[in-house]
Amino acid sequence: MALLEICCYSMECAREAQQQGADRIELCAAPLEGGLTPSAGVLKSVRQQVTIPVHPIVRPRGGDFCYTEGEFAAMLEDIRTLRELGFPGLVTGVLNADGQVDLPRMRMIMEAAGPLAVTFHRAFDMCADPLGTFRQLASLGVARILTSGQQQSAEKGLSLIRELIAESRTPIIMAGAGVRANNLTLFLEAGVTELHSSAGQWLPSPMRFRNPGLSMSTDPDADEYSRYAVNGASVAEMKTIVSRYAK
């Protein structure tokens, strides 16, 4: 049966995803940035309260995946922290300025991760040579690649996803970006064995008092009175579809 991974941005969301049938959680902060490294407090609380596998993301900032020496040093320190806390895996990725995998740094990441399963995230979708990158990541021992097939959504990138699956059984190709209940069967029929979804929704803030003349964001269009959360019903629906397909 295919595995369902849910991207969660809080301990509460991680518990909800687990309760509704998720097989694994990618733990992040900052949904509007596409996912950043969670705080120490969130990491510790999730380790204490969630029993399914949790793979935190190691990403120091939004934007590209070509990091300064200081940013990369912080990433290695975060990886050591995840290892000390006992997480079974992590999600990360580094590229160089030419859109290739930064092999020296990825080797350092693999060494720091030790026994932890490493997922190379959607930095893969920004690389210049997907098939060549796949082979390099395989040689490094990366466990899986999260990808939309280098398109805006995994459904649009399904052709490349199929091609990558045909290359080899390792690393595992996990389809992500726009994966929902209404298109899940497309991926299952294509031979995708791991599926990644945010299963998300924006919920209104419980704040009754609001100051309309002030914003804490540099984005003038940001809605600071909405909160991103896992939609438990969506997780349950996807899990049901995966389970039925396996039969």
| pLDDT tens sequence across 115-133 | 999 999 999 999 999 999 9
Q: What pLDDT does 135 receive?
A: 96
What is the rounded CA–CA span in Å between residue 200 and residue 198?
Answer: 5
Q: What pLDDT does 217 receive?
A: 80
Which portions of the chain are predicted below pLDDT 70?
A: none
Say what the pTM is: 0.95
**Size (the chain), residues:** 247
Number of neighbouring beta carbons within 10 Å of residue 107: 12
Every domain of the chain and the residues it spans: 3-118+175-204+221-246
- Rounded to 10 deg, the angle between the 130-140 and 158-167 helix axes is 40
Scan for tokens 């596998």, then name that residue: 53
CATH class label, 3-118+175-204+221-246: alpha beta
Number of neighbouring beta carbons within 10 Å of residue 114: 10
Strand partners, 175: 147, 195
In DSSP notation, 107-123 reads HHHHHHHTTSEEEE-GG
For 235, list phi and psi in degrees, rounded to 5.
Answer: -60, -45
Pairing label, strands 200-204, 226-230: antiparallel
